[in-house]
Amino acid sequence: MVVWTWVASGSRLDGRTDVTGENHEGEIIVTQKTSRATFPVPERKPSDGHGPGRGPELHQERAVQTRVQILDAAAELFDKHGYSGTSVKAVADHVGMTKGAVYFHYPTKEALTIAVVDALYDRWPALLEAVQTKGLGPLDTLMELLDQTAATFMDDVVVQGGARLQMEQPLPEGVLPRPYVGWISLIEELLAEAEEAGELRAGVSPSAAAHTLVSAFFGTQHISARLVRRQDLTQRWRDARDLLFYALRA
Ligand code: LUB
């Protein structure tokens, strides 16, 4: 019998399969570093780096705080009222600033939109890294990551506003990052790791399952948002993932 144990990333162990030995019962112990999957860089049309998403370079801490305040306010209003129902004036009123002050940081409503959606995708790499330090196997890493993502959708205005904007696609094709593809590719990578570790049920295709998981997650968060303003999201997601992981796990 082969027993897999998992070592948190950040340990000195490197590579996929690190230590193989036997315990007292004659079981083969394989110690493997936990998942090393990473998010791909979001896909978008190439830009010169001076597009509407980039405000002036600001190093002052106060200015950074102000930008965060504006971004959070914009995200909240985009989530509540959508793109067309949100004006820069409303964002300015929400943070108690003049429209000119907001325009100094974000020169157009499009710039605000891009910044909110970019911030949505910026959330995930840090979350993934935090989960990976727990030293779980690939399948449990994926489950924990999605559970924490569901919790993030419940309490993070930038994620909420960004998700609504990505649904609406208010800007010309290619201006905002391509939705879903980053998550699909990350999940496929984690499922391939799970397959290699013998955690995946025989016959499950990592690619097909990755699409299904993202569809289920997206659908669950969308329905929960529309029906009950996401109040039941963590529970609904737990129900969906229990069903899906039952089918995925060897
Ligand atoms: C995620 C959303 C909402 C997938 O990846 C994305 O683009 C997503 C917003 O567009 O759900 C979460 C697994």
Q: Give the tens place of pLDDT for each residue, 188-208.
A: 999 999 999 999 999 999 999
217 lines ligand 1 (CB under 6 A): yes
Please tell me the distance between residue 184's alpha carbon and the centre of ligand 1 in angstroms.
Answer: 9
The order of strands in the sheet holding 2-7 is: 2-7, 28-33, 17-22
Q: How many Cβ atoms from other residues are within 10 Å of residue 216's Cβ? A: 16
List the beta strands (DSSP E) in 24-150.
28-33
Beta carbon of 177 within 6 Å of any ligand 1 atom: no
Summarize pLDDT for 148-190 with one digit per residue, the tens.
Answer: 999 999 999 999 999 999 999 999 999 999 999 999 999 999 9
- CA separation for the pair 147, 233 (Å, rounded): 10
Q: Are the beta carbons of 191 and 56 closer than 8 angstroms?
A: no
Q: Are 47 and 22 a contacting pair, CB within 8 Å?
A: no
* Per-residue b or e along 73-87, where b marks 16 or more CB atoms closer than 10 Å to that residue's CB: bbbbbbbeeebeebe
Query: How far does residue 250's CA lie from ligand 1's centre (Å)?
Result: 27
Report the C-alpha gap between 39 and 51 in whole angstroms: 24
- The contacts found for 59-64 with CB under 8 angstroms, 24 or more apart, are 63/105
Q: Which two tokens stand for residue 45?
A: 């049309």
Q: Is the pTM of this model over 0.95?
A: no
